[in-house]
Homo-oligomer: A and B are copies of this chain.
Amino acid sequence: MGRKRTKPGKIRLAEVARLAGVSPITASRFFRTPEALSVAKRVRVESAAKELGYVPNLAARALASQRTEVIGVLIPSLTNNVFADVLRGIYDALDGSRYSIQLANTRYSILQEEKLLRLFLAQKPAGLIVTGIDQTAESRSIMESADCPIVQIMEIGSNPIDMMIGFSHYEAGRAAISHLLAQGFGRIGFLGARMDPRVQRRFEGYQATLKQAALLDPRLVVTTTLPSSVKIGGALLADLLSKAPDVDAVFCANDDVALGVLFECQRRRIAVPDQLAIVGFNDLEFMEATVPTLTSVRTNRYEMGRDAAVMLVESIEGRRPQEPIVDLGFKVMERQSSWPRGS
């Protein structure tokens, strides 16, 4: 019958309470709502906990309170630099807080995302950060009925599940093309890898802007579903040049691709920007170190992660932000690779 599992060396909350001369529940409150204790007891419990080296048992806490202090984070890729920055923002914001992070990788699959969502929500996280706005209908309904705050990151749209922080990839795509048009380029190609929903929307911005200028030409578009990489950038450019040798500028949906394009130009002795202008996307660190420096659309990835985490925590703790949708914007960083023709 039963067992004697209690290890003698184990320091439990009860021991702390005993040493402090209070009831266990009072000691418990010290760790959750210290302001509810009288100053005297607060000090007593604090020193007792310190003396015993007490560390709360999170499993017991989770079981008793029916919730955890875990924030689930779903991102599509661990390799993509873009998400590394977002993650850094999230980790920095949550560093030193009571919350811990549970990270999972959807591999750009909304079905995988749905599966992970079920897995996460079953453990009652304190909050959730998910990437993008293209969840399955099923995922949406799971999240809508979840009883924790949720922040969608990377993009903004019109109907958030709960909260949202990001920017419009469509408008960013438009801005990139408007910049090239303003610089005097007219045969503007599009090179896209992966073609995930966000790349698609940049592409839509590209299309809309060129259509408006009556300069849209499907022969100028080369895409692949392969992941973006420097190498693929070279291949995409090679493909584009064979289809449309008169192209005078390319908008690359990723900076990796833009870097690959730059090297392909070097390989083929195509002058940048005189023969071909290049615009990338995300403004990764290397874009201002290349020769020539590469124009790119800067996105605030670190801030996105950081602010998403802050919004989430505020919301968890009952201080819901006024505005559920935060537009972090973007900025076209104009560099040498898109200098006006013949300047």
Residues on A lying within 8 angstroms of B by beta carbon are 5, 55, 57-60, 62-63, 66, 68, 78-79, 81, 84-85, 87-88, 91, 95, 100-105, 118, 122-123, 229-231, 233-234, 256, 259-260, 263, 266-267, 285-286, 288-291
Q: Contacts A57-B63, A78-B91, A91-B105; is A263 near B285 (CB within 8 Å)?
A: no
Chain B residues with CB under 8 Å of A58's CB are: 59, 123
Q: A103-B103, A230-B285, A291-B266 are in contact. Are A59 and B55 (CB under 8 A)?
A: no
Report the separation of the CA atoms of residues A88 and B83 in the bound assembly, to the nearest whole angstrom.
Answer: 13
Interchain CB contact under 8 A, B68 and A79: no
Let me know if B63 and A68 touch, CB within 8 A. no
Q: Report the nearest B residue to A291, measured CB to CB.
A: B266
CA distance A230 to B286 in the complex (A): 5
A91-B78, A267-B291 are contacts. A59–B230 as well, Cβ < 8 Å? Answer: no
Q: Is the CB of A103 within 8 A of B105?
A: no
A142 to chain B, nearest CB (A): 12
- Shortest distance between the CB of A6 and any CB in chain B (Å): 11
Q: Which of B57, B84, B102, B256 contacts A78 (CB 8 A)?
A: B84
